[in-house]
Chains A and B, each alone.
Chain A
Amino acid sequence: MKTSSKIFTALILIFLFAPIVILLVFSFNASKSLSVMSGGSLYWYRELFRDAETLGAVRNTLVLAISAALISTVMGTAAAVGIHRLRSKAVRLGYEQVTNIPMTNPDIITGISLMLMFVFVGRLFGASTSLNFWTMLIAHITFCLPYVILQVLPKLQQMDNSLSEAAMDLGCTPMQAFFRVEIPEIMPGVVTGLIMAFTLSLDDFVISYFTSGNGFETLPIRIYNMTKKTVTPKMYALSTIIFFTILALLIMSNLIDTSAPGVEKPLRRERTASQKKRLRVAGAIGGVLAAGMIAVMIIGAPDHPVLNVYNWGEYISDGSEDSFNTIRGFEQWYKENYGSEVEVNYTTFASNEDMYSKISSGAVSYDVIIPSDYMIARMREEGMLLPLNFDNIPNYENIGENFRGLYYDPDDEYTVPYTYSFVGVIWDAERVDEEDTGDWDLMWNEKYKGDILQFNNSRDAFATAQYKLGLDVNDTDPESWRRALEELKRQQPLVKSYVMDEIYNMMESGEAAVASYYAGDYFTMLDAEADNVDLRFYVPERTNYFIDAMCIPSCCQQKELAEAFINYMLEEEPAIANAEYICYGCPNRVVYESEEYAEDMGEEAMEILYPNLDVFAENFNRFAYRNLDAATLSLVNSLWEELKIN
């Protein structure tokens, strides 16, 4: 019995802490790979502290969490005291219940309703952007408040009511009685409430996501938006740091609770007094810090123009891993060329759809956005884009001829292409015969049964079958989609699993040998492949091409500045830095004709990323995904489910 309970306890501990341990271990990994542990190193910690954007998000998160925690603790304690002093029991219980409701509310409802309210109030006052730091602060205070009240109220109820009467009797004013007697009594609850509010605010994603506005990005949102590329290991380092910070807070709050009156032994009296003093000092420092940070945010509000750029996560050369910092570069370049200061407020999104809903909510305003082709087509049709003034973008001439007149912007009025890529097949030369490669048939080859990875997203998975069969990926004829489904069903027994981000790990470690994925991401895998793995890449004749392009949305406040930014991004230095950082194809002649760039990228990458560009426009217009109508979309979804259920 005893040993079995010990084993069970051990299992529980492993279950609870294994993920954290793995996170911790890999945060010290010298390489990027999750599968290969190539020696301990502080490399990712160093990288983390060099990443200005991420550190900015950390700073934002801390400012927000500390301010929200302090304000909600003060407000919540006051509210709890108010509720506690209500004479009528029915009214008091009513208040307690009402303040509890927000805790049981799903975050998503809280988030949406807060966003609606902010947008509504913002419109009422005619503000162009109603979501900002302050709305987020209000939102965080809103969801932290009930937790503080919940912590403080029981302490008040446990407290002998005659304590404050005794204090007043002994010469205290009601205020003095509150601070000298009641506050020390309920302090454990107040501190627990504070710590709870802090941790809640620190890791909140859903509510923050709905209420975040221009340029104020918290860490959870930033990490979420990194999904365009894979999450970099510096986030493991950051998560490890956060974990230990929270752990320290937790231990601190437990110490406070055990030193609460009534529990301690008389001998520990002295120590508690000094602990209390230390706590007070810590509280004061925290308060001053938060006040200072808020003050900086208010006073530091720039008097020069601010350019709001909205881009995919991890999709710009930002100074990390010794790269060129494009954003700071623009600020400098602008000052040199135009003689005035400008500040870039850079925010990220995780998908075209996220970006679209944020912009169409009308609560934010961005000056430059970088969506994908099909989304550009949609936004253009809906009048959400402004035509560009190419007089302000002289560098547009650098864009290769093959990247003009594409279907989403046939007259080149609205967009300047940023990157392009395509889907290809990745194969492990250690296990796959070269003669089997070249087209989509490899993904259906019985020889590699159980070694094949297929996309875990309907559009990309269907497309592999459609390209293989020579079908149109944008067909509205259901029969054509059913044929593709049959092909996928035929492939199903060969497939090891349907994956998205897991593909990195499985291919790098040699767990799987054949997969189709995006060209840029192949290079990421190449960097981290294990010793017994030799990854190669080829592009079938028919495949998906996609382009992300810079546009100016109709909510833009600084059009000329935005055009200056777009122009700068086409300059040689930032364009090459960007192309090297992102590892996607670059439609900029200055880049792909540069010898320096070709040298940096290596022969293989150049061959893959820049095949015969003469046919790019033709291929793109023929094979790229377009918006599907609603009927086809729902058909695709139901067919996809039919496949996955099997």
Chain B
Amino acid sequence: MRKIIELKGVSKAYDGQVVLDHINLDIYDNEFVTLLGPSGCGKTTTLRIIAGFEQPDEGQVFFMGEDIAALPPHKRNVNTVFQRYALFPHLNVYENIAFPLRVKKAHGDEIDTKVREMLRLVGLQGFEKRSVTSLSGGQQQRVAIARALVSQPKVLLLDEPLSALDAKLRKDMQAELHKIQRASGITFIFVTHDQEEALSMSDTVVVMSEGLIQQIGTPTDIYNEPQNAFVADFIGESNILNGIMLEDRKVKFHGHVFECVDSGFEKNEPVDVVVRPEDVDIVPEEKGMLRGVVTSVTFLGVHYEIIVDVQGFKWMIQTTDFCAVDSHIGLFIEPDAIQIMHKSKYSGMFGDYSSFSNEFDELSDAAAEVEEE
């Protein structure tokens, strides 16, 4: 695969506040890359640096091997779909899509062919004469994508394009975007704070936090083998415990030695141990590797989410078996369900569900979205 964009040691600060801290990132041809992270992690800034709206304070940006740091946005073969679409209200659907071609003074027939092709691609045939302000959010979204794709850029940048849509429409558009990316063969760089969106659409996910890249990998890599507590927590639910790596494939936590599949750690190295809630099996108390008391049970349709107190640490477990509150149960964990991570600055910050509540989680999500705006 051809490397299409390369960021080398890129840093950016606003008023002394570091937003990007020496980022290195390679993006390949025909890839669907997602920049994922909470608000303020630097993902949008990264996108704007690639688009050319921001200049990095330090570092270099290469586009197909060429340093483009000094190139203004209109000279870059990269187009953007903006969070709120940024359609031109004084132009109709057709003219919005034709805009980049008209700027380039393309021939009338060529414009017509390309615009109609784009309208077909995004499923908006018959909307040519409509005013963009009369369209629904999803339709505006499609116009924005068509407008960004019509001049056949090498890379399409999408800045949280689905965040203004309702949940149902968002799901449809996710599939649609994926389809369009496959059909057009253009590299998509997609920014979102929604981990589900990232996992379902991407070839590569770049998890960012505090101006740093935490992990780059395929969605399965990121989910199954998080490299630190932040990633483990941000992607899905995780129980993260302090452990000690006794030797290769042997880890001790909760005073119990478990078998695992990880190796390459130093002897007796303190580590973070990640166990996904769905990977814990519930067994009778006497058969369990660990024993605990159920403190809360929530029915979520597909499964129950229960919180189990094991020696003062609250585990989250997803199970299809019902357990009553206050019942004593045993936990069983397969070796390949255990993921071992080196200690990081995020150790101890996440992964204990002692203060967990669904309500609280939703509140903090909403707060994050507000901040993003």
| Chain A interface residues toward B at CB < 8 A | 160, 162-163, 165-174, 176-177, 180-181, 184-185, 187, 261-262, 264-266, 269-270
Listed residue (B51, B80, B131) with the most chain A CB atoms within 10 angstroms of its CB: B131
A163-B129 contact in complex given A169-B51, A172-B74, C-beta closer than 8 Å: no
Query: Chain B contacts of A177 at CB under 8 A?
Result: 74
Complex partner residue of A168 from B74, B89, B92, B133, CB under 8 angstroms: B74
The yes or no answer to B253 lying at the interface (CB within 8 A) is: no
Pairwise interchain contact B90-A166, C-beta atoms closer than 8 A: no
Pairwise interchain contact A269-B131, C-beta atoms closer than 8 A: yes
Listed residue (B72, B90, B151) with the most chain A CB atoms within 10 angstroms of its CB: B90
Query: Chain B contacts of A174 at CB under 8 A?
Result: 72
Query: Chain B contacts of A261 at CB under 8 A?
Result: 89-90, 131, 133
The yes or no answer to B370 lying at the interface (CB within 8 A) is: no
Of all A-B residue pairs in the complex, the 5 with the closest CB atoms, nearest first, are A261-B89, A166-B86, A170-B100, A162-B86, A184-B90
Query: Chain B contacts of A184 at CB under 8 A?
Result: 88, 90
Pairwise interchain contact B131-A264, C-beta atoms closer than 8 A: yes
Complex alpha-carbon distance, A324 and B196, angstroms:
93
A170-B99 contact in complex given A264-B131, A269-B129, C-beta closer than 8 Å: yes
Q: Indicate with 1 or 0, residue by residue over B144-161, a CB within 8 angstroms of chain A CB atoms.
A: 000110010000000000
Pairwise interchain contact B100-A171, C-beta atoms closer than 8 A: yes
Pairwise interchain contact A266-B86, C-beta atoms closer than 8 A: no
The yes or no answer to B179 lying at the interface (CB within 8 A) is: no
Pairwise interchain contact B151-A262, C-beta atoms closer than 8 A: no
Query: Chain A contacts of B79 at CB under 8 A?
Result: 169-170
Closest to A261 in B: B89
A166-B82 contact in complex given A171-B151, A266-B130, C-beta closer than 8 Å: yes
Pairwise interchain contact B151-A165, C-beta atoms closer than 8 A: no
Pairwise interchain contact B72-A266, C-beta atoms closer than 8 A: no
A171-B133 contact in complex given A165-B82, A166-B82, A269-B92, C-beta closer than 8 Å: no
* A-B contacts, 11 listed (Cβ < 8 Å): A165-B86, A166-B80, A166-B86, A166-B88, A170-B74, A171-B103, A177-B74, A261-B89, A265-B134, A266-B129, A266-B134
Query: Chain B contacts of A176 at CB under 8 A?
Result: 74, 103
Complex partner residue of B104 from A168, A171, A269, CB under 8 angstroms: A171
Closest to A177 in B: B74
The yes or no answer to B343 lying at the interface (CB within 8 A) is: no
Number of interface residues of B (CB under 8 A): 30
Complex alpha-carbon distance, A149 and B147, angstroms:
33
Query: Chain A contacts of B346 at CB under 8 A?
Result: none
A162-B82 contact in complex given A185-B90, A269-B92, A269-B131, C-beta closer than 8 Å: yes
Query: Chain B contacts of A160 at CB under 8 A?
Result: 84, 86
Query: Chain A contacts of B86 at CB under 8 A?
Result: 160, 162-163, 165-166
The B46-71 residues at the A interface (CB cut-off 8 A) are: 51-53
Given contacts A166-B80, A169-B80, list 11 more A-B pairs with CB under 8 A. Answer: A160-B86, A165-B80, A166-B88, A169-B51, A169-B53, A169-B74, A169-B78, A180-B99, A185-B88, A266-B131, A269-B92
The yes or no answer to B73 lying at the interface (CB within 8 A) is: yes
Pairwise interchain contact A165-B129, C-beta atoms closer than 8 A: no
Closest to B51 in A: A169
Complex partner residue of B89 from A162, A167, A262, CB under 8 angstroms: A262
A8 to chain B minimum Cβ distance, whole angstroms, is: 38
Query: Chain B contacts of A169 at CB under 8 A?
Result: 51-53, 73-74, 78-80, 148
Complex alpha-carbon distance, A187 and B89, angstroms:
12
Query: Chain A contacts of B73 at CB under 8 A?
Result: 165, 168-169
Closest to B159 in A: A162
Query: Chain B contacts of A171 at CB under 8 A?
Result: 74, 100, 103-104, 151
B306 to chain A minimum Cβ distance, whole angstroms, is: 45
Complex alpha-carbon distance, A576 and B103, angstroms:
71
A185-B74 contact in complex given A162-B84, A170-B147, C-beta closer than 8 Å: no
A115 to chain B minimum Cβ distance, whole angstroms, is: 43
Query: Chain A contacts of B82 at CB under 8 A?
Result: 162, 165-166
Complex alpha-carbon distance, A160 and B90, angstroms:
13
Complex alpha-carbon distance, A167 and B79, angstroms:
10
Query: Chain B contacts of A262 at CB under 8 A?
Result: 89, 133
Listed residue (A261, A265, A266) with the most chain B CB atoms within 10 angstroms of its CB: A266
A170-B89 contact in complex given A160-B84, A262-B133, C-beta closer than 8 Å: no
Query: Chain A contacts of B80 at CB under 8 A?
Result: 165-166, 169
The B221-248 residues at the A interface (CB cut-off 8 A) are: none
Query: Chain A contacts of B129 at CB under 8 A?
Result: 266, 269-270
The B173-193 residues at the A interface (CB cut-off 8 A) are: none
A160 to chain B minimum Cβ distance, whole angstroms, is: 6
Complex alpha-carbon distance, A176 and B72, angstroms:
13
Complex alpha-carbon distance, A265 and B92, angstroms:
12
Pairwise interchain contact B103-A172, C-beta atoms closer than 8 A: yes
B138 to chain A minimum Cβ distance, whole angstroms, is: 17
Complex alpha-carbon distance, A270 and B103, angstroms:
21
Query: Chain A contacts of B103 at CB under 8 A?
Result: 170-172, 176, 180
Complex alpha-carbon distance, A262 and B91, angstroms:
11
Listed residue (A180, A187, A270) with the most chain B CB atoms within 10 angstroms of its CB: A180
Complex alpha-carbon distance, A168 and B75, angstroms:
9
Query: Chain A contacts of B74 at CB under 8 A?
Result: 168-173, 176-177
Pairwise interchain contact B151-A181, C-beta atoms closer than 8 A: no
